[in-house]
Amino acid sequence: MTKDIWTVKRIIEWGKNYLQEKNIDSPRLTMELLLCDVMNLQRIDLYLNHDKPLNQDELKLLRAYILRRADREPVQYIIGHTEFYGHRFFVNPAVLIPRPETELLVQYAAEFAKKIKGENHTALDIGTGSGCIIISFAKMFPQWKCTAIDNSDKALAIAEKNAEALEIDTIAFHNADVFERPPQKRYSIVMSNPPYIAAKEMENLEPEIAKYEPKTALTDGDNGLSYYTYYATLFPKIIRPGGAFFCEIGFGQSEEIQKIFTDKNIQTTIEKDYAGIPRIIWGIIK
């Protein structure tokens, strides 16, 4: 009865076609990621195990995963992790899924951190979510004292789990709403990827984002600019003279946001992402 045997190769082919019919992006890659999780394999191992049959439990779990993905749940939430800055981060629907563009924020902050003079440096991440930004930063700068805040306990639980799994003990995590309880100290570097989607644009999002990612991580419920407007008055109070801030910004926002900062006498630089879209704003506090 060989036709009833679901081998790795056969199930990838079947699932790829099924997901393709459901208009899911990258159907083969998706199948491979789901299968790796179910069988506890690395992607490279899939090819070495092409003819390996799946047992009943594996088939059952994989079927459930495929149905969830067909319902547009992001693969990262299904398998519970993703890659960011070369590290594995746990994610769940309490946190935004780390995006490759955000790696640029870490990269620019790191370039600045390498050059900054003085000692006893500190870094702050506002709205840490999964912790991807500050943890990736802390991995490179173990001598820096880091702080991460978020207004969600569920997000902080994931961020702390990620810090522990990546063996980082230089970050203090706190629950704080930055508007209500702004930081009281001064930091050498402040980083933030705030919710920047305007409320009226929420309806245009893909279901993966709209249905599954945390709303408060996506939108400020307003015009998408309220965090930057607040940051332009906050940053001079919480960044040391000579220190800097690095924020992610949304598509089409760079000019407005740059003006928000120049109106407060803060000069900024915009950096583009891999798609050529202005994505990071940074500036030095005098």
194 and 126 Cβ atoms separated by less than 8 Å: yes
Number of residues this chain uses to bind ligand GLN (CB under 6 A): 13
Q: Which of 217, 239, 247, 260 binds ligand GLN (CB under 6 A)?
A: 217
Nearest distance in Å: CB 251, ligand GLN: 15
Position among 74, 195, 224, 250 found at the interface with ligand GLN (CB under 6 A)? 195
- Could you give the count of Cα atoms lying within 13 Å of 177 in the half-sphere of its Cβ? 4
Mark the segment that binds ligand GLN (CB under 6 A) among 40-48, 188-196, 219-227, 229-237. 188-196
Segment lying near ligand GLN (by CB under 6 A), choices 20-28, 60-68, 123-131, 235-243: 123-131
Out of 34, 94, 96, 171, the residue judged to bind ligand GLN by CB under 6 A: 96
Q: Which stretch binds ligand GLN (CB under 6 A): 50-58, 96-104, 165-173, 177-185?
A: 96-104
Q: What's the closest the beta carbon of residue 101 comes to ligand GLN, in angstroms? A: 9
254 binds ligand GLN (CB under 6 A): no
Residue whose pair of structure tokens reads 């398998």 in the numeric block? 79
Q: Which is nearer to ligand GLN, 89 or 144 (CB)?
A: 89
Question: Does 193 help bind ligand GLN (rule: CB under 6 A)?
Answer: yes
Can residue 250 be called a binding residue for ligand GLN (CB under 6 A)?
A: no
Q: How far is the CB of 164 from ligand GLN (least distance, A)?
A: 17
Name the one range near ligand GLN by CB under 6 A: 17-25, 44-52, 56-64, 189-197: 189-197
Binding mask 75-94 toward ligand GLN (x if CB under 6 A, else -) reads --------------------
In the bound complex, what is the minimum distance in angstroms from residue 240's beta carbon to ligand GLN? 22
Residue 149 forms beta bridges with which residues? 126, 174
Q: Residues with Cβ < 8 Å from 165, sequence gap 6 or more? A: 88, 90
Please identify, using beta-carbon distances, which residue of 188 and 193 lies nearer to ligand GLN: 193
Residues in contact with ligand GLN, shown as a per-residue x/- string from 124 to 163 under the rule CB under 6 A = ---xxxx-xx------------------------------
DSSP string, the chain: -GGG--BHHHHHHHHHHHHHHTT-SSHHHHHHHHHHHHHT--HHHHHHTTTPBP-HHHHHHHHHHHHHHHTT--HHHHHTEEEETTEEEE--TTSPPP-HHHHHHHHHHHHHHHH--SSS-EEEEES-TTSHHHHHHHHH-TTSEEEEEES-HHHHHHHHHHHHHTT--SEEEEE--TTTS---S-EEEEEE----B-GGGGGGS-HHHHHHS-HHHHB-SSSS-HHHHHHHHHHHHHEEEEEEEEEE--TT-HHHHHHHHHTTT--EEEEE-TTS-EEEEEEE--
Interface residue list for ligand GLN (CB under 6 A): 96, 98, 102, 127-130, 132-133, 193-195, 217
